[in-house]
């Protein structure tokens, strides 16, 4: 939409007039923030906000606002190779009559013309609306929400927090009605635990869902910064994903497919050979490109060092006295999968014997434990990537070797024991783990020793099913039979439906709805609740509602 001479300046001017109205003798009103007059920018025309807007990492007084100028998002962006000033506003109302913050940020060509604005000075626990302007072109409007104000101790916990847990959105496997459902929910927060994009070559039964072609097709990998940028551009141009971003702030972390399937640290996928294999130095360059593209497309509060294969994204967010959210990164710092098998499925004994292994790295393990020890909130959530609960199986069921998915926590069992022992020993109140990756929904009791089912649960785990990625664990019956024999800590499982998990947290309970999509081949597929599970304050373990 072209705004001509008024643009955002008119809205800001109106807000100044409103702020100036007041009774005589009262305090001098604070003028609303104003913007410079809209100025046409050569090369910036309608369609420049093709990727929409987003917000994330909410604090009690601030939030990250994001956009990227990209009229041709899957074809290099389509922007001139120069920096562009971008104006932004955040208001207390959707019509922008009460503007509370405004400014101008430079969209740098070196960062794909992405914009990250760390807005501060907002009020805690309230809804805001935001938008951008490039030249005379106005962006869509996004809704966001700040975190509740800090409170002293669990006894001060109040209010409620609603969130959507999502992961694994393979563009080629179908449409994303789950994201439209999340947008309709208008939660306080979306927590995305990884696999935001997939790196695979074009191959889809849907003609309009074929992946972008990388610079070196045939490898089933993305390798260059341009490859990753085009793939993110393709994903983020999807209207359902944009709707979910416009509806709420997101807290994101990555898993493997944002770089390459089943990578660990600077080791690429086990079993890669020929042109698919990269030594650590080559893979470091690929990871640097992937991490930069991730930063460029996410509403994340992080410090990017261009060209570096490192980017710290593990962080902690608090929501009043109600909830602390510990967001982990279990890819960047993990040791290689034991056995170096090209298949993730392998002998469970390899995971049990992986005494030197870690998924998080020593520094992040210490960070998590220190945060748990210090927490005084009512609920304490650990958001991480792969399922934490033990998942052993036999093929055929009841005979043969004990197998497991070594890319999950099951490949790093001593690490998992350390982490869950820390949860137990910290005596933190109401610990809950949120996970994804496995493309099916689970509710699990977490124990320090899963081989001793008589021991008490120390936490509850909710694993969301995928937004669209395909189920790969043989079939539901196979998993259920193995769970009945070998995994008594599994309280709920469903693998034949895609969707997300909707969670509402109050001082007295955490309530999780398992939301399922009827048909991925329809953009307008209905989404329903398959089951609801509840964790009560002070009572470890979940129960059906």
| Residues 126-157 pLDDT 10s | 999 999 999 999 999 999 999 999 986 677 78
What is the percent of the chain with per-residue pLDDT over 90, rounded to a whole number?
87
For 71, what's the count of Cα atoms within 13 Å in the CB-facing half-sphere? 11
Task: Give the model's confidence band at 533: pLDDT under 50 very low, under 70 low, under 90 confident, else very high.
Answer: very high
Tell me, what DSSP letter sits at residue 393? Answer: B
For 261, residues 6+ apart whose C-beta sits below 8 A from its C-beta are 199, 269
- What pLDDT, in 10s, does the model give residues 228-259? 999 999 999 999 999 999 999 999 999 999 99
Domains in the chain, start-ordered, CATH in brackets? 32-146 (2.60.40.380), 147-544 (3.60.21.70)
Residue 406 DSSP class: T
**Bond before 187 cis per omega within 30 degrees:** no
Report the C-alpha gap between 255 and 435 in whole angstroms.
11
pTM (predicted TM-score): 0.94
Residue with tokens 């609740």: 529
Q: What is the pLDDT of residues 491-508, one digit of tens each?
A: 999 999 999 999 999 999
Q: Write the pLDDT tens digit of every residue in 13-51.
A: 333 332 333 333 445 555 678 788 898 999 899 999 999
Q: What is the distance between the alpha carbons of residues 292 and 309, in angstroms, rounded to a whole number?
A: 9
Residue 31 is predicted with a pLDDT of 67
pLDDT digits (tens, 9 = 90+) for 383-436: 999 999 999 999 888 888 999 999 999 999 999 999 999 999 999 999 999 999
Q: What is the pLDDT of residues 308-334, one digit of tens each?
A: 999 999 999 999 999 999 999 999 999
Neighbours of 400 (CB within 10 A): 10
Where do we find the tokens 């081989």? 451
């Amino acid at each position: 939409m072209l705004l001509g001479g008024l643009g955002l300046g008119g809205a800001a001017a109106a807000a100044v007039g409103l702020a100036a109205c007041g009774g005589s003798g009262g305090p001098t009103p604070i003028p609303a923030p104003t913007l410079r007059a809209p100025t046409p920018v050569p090369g910036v025309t309608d369609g420049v906000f093709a990727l929409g807007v987003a917000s994330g990492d909410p604090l009690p007084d601030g939030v990250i606002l994001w956009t990227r100028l990209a009229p041709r998002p899957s074809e290099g962006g389509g922007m001139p190779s120069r920096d562009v000033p971008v104006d932004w506003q955040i208001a207390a109302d959707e019509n922008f009559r009460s503007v509370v913050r405004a400014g101008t940020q430079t969209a740098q060509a070196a960062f794909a013309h992405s914009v990250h604005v760390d807005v501060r000075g907002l009020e805690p626990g309230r809804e805001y609306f935001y938008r951008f302007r490039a030249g005379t072109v106005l962006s869509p409007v996004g809704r966001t929400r700040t975190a509740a104000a800090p409170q002293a101790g669990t006894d001060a916990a109040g209010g409620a927090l609603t969130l959507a847990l999502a992961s694994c959105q393979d563009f080629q496997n179908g449409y994303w009605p789950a994201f439209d459902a999340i947008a309709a929910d208008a939660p306080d927060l979306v927590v995305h635990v990884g696999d935001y994009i997939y790196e695979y070559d074009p191959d889809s039964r849907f003609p309009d869902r074929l992946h972008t072609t990388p610079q070196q097709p045939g490898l089933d990998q993305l390798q260059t910064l341009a490859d990753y940028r085009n793939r993110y551009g393709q994903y983020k141009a999807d209207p359902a994903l944009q709707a979910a971003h416009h509806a709420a702030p997101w807290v994101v972390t990555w898993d493997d497919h944002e770089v390459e399937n089943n990578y660990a640290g600077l080791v690429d996928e086990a079993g890669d050979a020929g042109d698919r294999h990269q030594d650590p130095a080559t893979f470091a360059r690929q990871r640097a490109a992937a991490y930069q593209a991730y930063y460029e497309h996410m509403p994340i509060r992080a410090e990017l060092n261009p060209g570096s294969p490192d980017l710290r994204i593990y962080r902690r967010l608090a929501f009043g006295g109600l909830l602390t959210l510990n967001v982990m990164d279990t890819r960047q710092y993990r040791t290689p999968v034991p056995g170096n098998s090209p298949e993730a499925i392998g002998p469970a004994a390899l995971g049990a014997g992986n005494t030197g292994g870690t998924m998080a790295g020593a520094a992040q393990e210490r960070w998590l434990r220190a945060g748990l020890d210090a927490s005084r909130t009512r609920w304490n959530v650990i958001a991480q990537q792969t399922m934490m609960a033990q998942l052993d199986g036999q093929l055929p069921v009841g005979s043969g070797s004990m197998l497991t998915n070594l890319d999950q926590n099951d490949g790093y069992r001593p690490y998992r024991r350390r982490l869950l022992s820390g949860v137990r020993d910290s005596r933190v109140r109401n610990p809950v783990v949120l996970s994804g990756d496995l493309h099916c929904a689970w509710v699990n009791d977490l124990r320090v020793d899963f081989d001793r089912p008589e021991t008490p649960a120390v936490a509850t785990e909710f694993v969301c099913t995928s937004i669209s990625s395909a189920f790969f664990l043989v079939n539901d019956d196979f998993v259920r039979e193995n769970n009945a024999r070998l995994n008594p800590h599994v309280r709920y499982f469903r693998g034949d439906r895609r969707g997300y998990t909707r969670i509402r947290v109050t001082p007295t309970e955490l309530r999780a709805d398992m939301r399922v999509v009827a048909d991925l081949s329809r953009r307008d597929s209905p989404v329903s609740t398959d089951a609801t599970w509840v964790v009560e304050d002070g009572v470890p373990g979940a129960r059906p509602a």
